[in-house]
């Protein structure tokens, strides 16, 4: 197995750990039924033009709980993602350092080739006009 193939295999194994964020579902049917039940339980004269928001605070509290659940579950999800990202950043930083080191080495070796070639040829090389 070549080195690049090994890299690809590791990347594939890592990508298998990718999963889309899916929060715990809200049982919409049961909430609708509950609203139907509570709205039906009110007497026809209990609501007038000014009291149409009788169930709003209850629904808002439910919405806040659903929202808090999403935020909480996403924070847990992002922790795993951030750990993967941290590992990838570390690997990339290490690769950058090694690459930079080898680039400098290549520059030195180029200098050595040029110097030894000049010495062997008896003078510096000139570009063809």
Query: Which positions from 17 through 46 interact with another protein, judged by CB under 8 A?
Result: 18, 20-21, 23, 26, 28, 31-32, 35-36, 38-40, 42-45
Q: Is 23 helix (H, G, I), strand (E, B) or coil?
A: coil
Supply the minimum distance, in Å, between the C-beta of residue 104 and another protein: 10
Comparing CB distances to another protein, the nearer of 1 and 123 is: 123
Q: Is 15 helix (H, G, I), strand (E, B) or coil?
A: helix
Between CA 44 and CA 20 the distance in angstroms is: 47
Inter-helix orientation angle 56-121/28-41, to 10°: 160
Supply the minimum distance, in Å, between the C-beta of residue 1 and another protein: 14
Contacts to another protein from residues 87-126, by CB under 8 A: 88-89, 91-92, 95-96, 98-99, 102-103, 105-106, 109-110, 112-113, 115-117, 119-126
Extract the tokens encoding 33: 């039924």
């Amino acid at each position: 197995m070549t080195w690049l193939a090994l890299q690809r295999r590791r990347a594939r194994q890592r990508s298998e750990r990718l999963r889309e964020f899916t929060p715990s579902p809200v049982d919409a049917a049961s909430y609708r039924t509950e609203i139907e039940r509570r709205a039906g339980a009110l007497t026809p004269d209990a609501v007038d033009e000014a009291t149409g928001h009788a169930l709003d605070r209850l629904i808002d509290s439910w919405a806040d709980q659903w929202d808090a659940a999403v935020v909480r579950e996403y924070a847990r999800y992002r922790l795993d993602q951030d750990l993967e990202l941290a590992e990838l950043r570390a690997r990339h930083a290490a690769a950058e350092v090694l690459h930079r080191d080898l680039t400098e080495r290549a520059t030195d070796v180029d200098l050595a080739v040029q110097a030894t070639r000049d010495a062997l040829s008896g003078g510096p090389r000139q570009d063809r006009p």
